[in-house]
Structure 1
Amino acid sequence: MSDDLQRLEEWAGALIGKVQPAQRRQLVRQVANDLRREHARQIAQQVAPDGTPYPARKNRKELRGKSGRIKRQKAAMFNKLRTNAYLQIQTDASQASVGFFGKVARIARVHHEGLQDKVAPRGPSYQYPARALLGFSENDIAELRRSLLDHLTK
């Protein structure tokens, strides 16, 4: 996968180097928005970038002492994390970053890497299963190529 990304970077770098700086910023922002939209869709579908489904959520009754307090048992994970307020893009003329920044980055990292964290500030600790939130798939690389070619042919 990293070889594919390296080849894509070399190929795209040669093409983007010939574009004016204003158009380059516009292109980089468009590509980043497309990636953010695709990752938000994958998070909503509860699948990792490689297409595997997320591990099932642990029943919350096992984590809390009182039963009957939780009204929504089957709520999708990461509903807020996939919004534009949290899944952000940062761009400049030569690069773009799609990810979680600030305080929410810690929460996303815990889930992405499957680390141990407290369920609540004074609650029990839990070893979260790894749920890959961000990453490149073959479809993402093909979409990047398509976006670059579409922009350059206009």
Structure 2
Amino acid sequence: MADLDALVDHLGTTLNQLSNAERRKLSMAIGRKIRASQKTRITTQKNPDGSAYIPRKFRLRNKRDKIKNKMFNLIKNAKYMRLQHTEQGIAIGFVGRVSRIATVHQYGLRDRVSSDGPQVKYAARELLGFTPQEIAMIESDCLAYLSTRL
């Protein structure tokens, strides 16, 4: 997060000179790229630091009940991972019931497997977070936009 603060300090004064419409256009374009990057990272089952997700517990009652899908296969789609423009910039997050599930996994909290099931402590799997490549991409996109504008 310190890298992101340094980026804001570095580009902040120049970006504040843009009109609201230009700033919104730039932030939405960057937000869409970050959402796509987050989706790719979730698909590969990796944390922002590059380490692999802790695998889910192996449960196999019989061959037919084996879990075949990767974790977070559906919630990475744009239907659940939403992009929202705020006064400060862009917010990327999950909506609805998926938001609660994502929060439990993001921070490694306790939750029930089913409504009447036992409570389980989930391993922390960072669904949302900045990678060094994304921070570099934000900086390069901002500089490219500013250079075309001048």
TM-score by length of 1: 0.88
1:83 corresponds in structure 2 to: 77
Residue 60 of structure 1 deviates from its aligned partner by 2.6
Asked if 1:48 corresponds to 2:21, the answer is no
1:1-154 equivalent positions in 2, closer than 5 A? 2-61=1-60, 67-70=62-65, 73-92=67-86, 94-154=88-148
Partner-residue secondary structure (3-state), 2:92: strand
Residue 3 of structure 1 deviates from its aligned partner by 2.6
CA contact (8 A) 1:21 1:93 kept: no
Question: Unmatched 5+ residue regions in structure 1?
Answer: none
Residue 134 of structure 1 deviates from its aligned partner by 0.8
Residue 97 of structure 1 deviates from its aligned partner by 0.5
How high is the sequence identity, in percent, across the aligned residues?
34
Q: Which amino acid aligns with 1:97?
A: A
Give the ranges of 4+ consecutive aligned residues of structure 1 lying more than 6 Å apart after TM superposition.
Answer: none
Q: Which amino acid aligns with 2:81?
A: L
CA contact (8 A) 1:24 1:93 kept: no
Question: Unmatched 5+ residue regions in structure 2?
Answer: none
TM-score by length of 2: 0.90
CA contact (8 A) 1:25 1:93 kept: no
CA contact (8 A) 1:81 1:87 kept: yes
Residue 116 of structure 1 deviates from its aligned partner by 1.2
Instruction: Report the Cα distance in structure 1 between the residues aligned to 2:117 and 2:62, rounded to whole angstroms.
Output: 16
Deviation per residue, 1:14-51 (Å, 9 max, x gap): 12112122111100101111111111100000000110
Instruction: Report the Cα distance in structure 1 between the residues aligned to 2:87 and 2:26, rounded to whole angstroms.
Output: 9
Number of residue pairs matched?
Answer: 148
Q: Which amino acid aligns with 1:103?
A: R
Residue 73 of structure 1 deviates from its aligned partner by 2.5
